[in-house]
Amino acid sequence: MTQDLLYSVVGVALFGIGVFGVVVAAHVIRKLIAVNIMGIGVFMVLLASAHHGAITDPVPHAMVLTGIVVAVAGTAQCLWLALRIQLLDENEAGESTQ
Q: What pTM was estimated for this model as a whole? A: 0.84
Residue-wise pLDDT tens digits, 33-61: 999 999 999 999 999 998 887 888 899 99
- pLDDT > 90? residue 91: no
What structural domains and CATH numbers belong to the chain? 3-97 (1.10.287)
**C-alpha–C-alpha distance, residues 33 and 58, integer Å:** 28
Q: Which residues contact 63 (CB under 8 A, 6 or more apart)?
A: 46
> What is the pairing mode between strands 51-52 and 55-56?
antiparallel
**C-alpha–C-alpha distance, residues 2 and 19, integer Å:** 26
| pLDDT bracket for residue 98 (50, 70, 90) | low
Q: Residue 86: what residue type?
A: Q
3-state secondary structure (DSSP) of residue 52: strand
Average pLDDT along the chain: 91
| pLDDT bracket for residue 67 (50, 70, 90) | very high
